Structure 1
Amino acid sequence: MLEFLTKLFGRDSGSKNVAKERLRLVLVHDRTSISPHILEALKADMIQVISNYMLIDETNLEVSLDSSGNTVALVANIPVKGMKRASGA
């Protein structure tokens, strides 16, 4: 309910979330030696490939790198709206 009211009255914290995401990318870069530019390129490539097969919600898509010790994991949260129909099969 609060989320609905926030969106209704325009008090969405979009710029706050963008700044938070940029800071997170900088921290990941420091820990993993992967530039934010490469992570964004990877995200764009994933969107392009997955969109060939599924209808996805790009606005709520999240791609991140999590590091634990000496390992790094690529974590993707990709909301799927539906499947695309195969053409010509």
Structure 2
Amino acid sequence: MLEFISRIFGKDSSPSKNVARERLRLVLVHDRTDISPQIMEALKSDLIKVITNYMEIDEAALEVSLDSNENQIALVANIPVKGMKRSGSMAPTGA
């Protein structure tokens, strides 16, 4: 009975509730930063170009997002690294 009452009044911390809360948080962060999805994709593409000069990464699993707390916004990147490239196989820097 207590479990039923807890569910009615929102005490249930189901995984779907947590996922929905996280999605809403991400939407709010993106709204506050005024960064369009196109800019986020361009940023992700540029990160891939730079990082692949030095490492072999899993591009399909790469995640880039913005996170915020009260005072600041952080760029958070989860980049699965498959391996390091040898120094001889790195692309020139073009400086």
State the alpha-carbon separation in 1 of the partners of residues 67 and 60 from structure 2: 21
Deviation for aligned residue 1:29: 2.6
Partner amino acid, structure 1, of 2:84:
M
Q: Which ranges in structure 2 are unaligned for 5 or more consecutive residues?
A: 1-22, 90-95
State the alpha-carbon separation in 2 of the partners of residues 37 and 63 from structure 1: 13
1:1-89 correspondence to structure 2 within 5 Å: 26-87=27-88
4+ long deviations beyond 2 Å: 23-29
Q: Which ranges in structure 1 are unaligned for 5 or more consecutive residues?
A: 1-20
State the alpha-carbon separation in 2 of the partners of residues 82 and 24 from structure 1: 33
* Larger Rg computed on CA atoms: 2
TM-score relative to the length of structure 1: 0.65
RMSD (Å), alpha carbons = 2.3
Q: Say how many residue pairs are matched.
A: 68
Report if aligned partners of 1:31, 1:67 keep a CA contact under 8 Å in 2: no
Tell me which residue corresponds to 1:16.
Answer: none
Partner amino acid, structure 2, of 1:41:
A
Identical-pair percentage: 73
Report if aligned partners of 2:67, 2:73 keep a CA contact under 8 Å in 1: yes
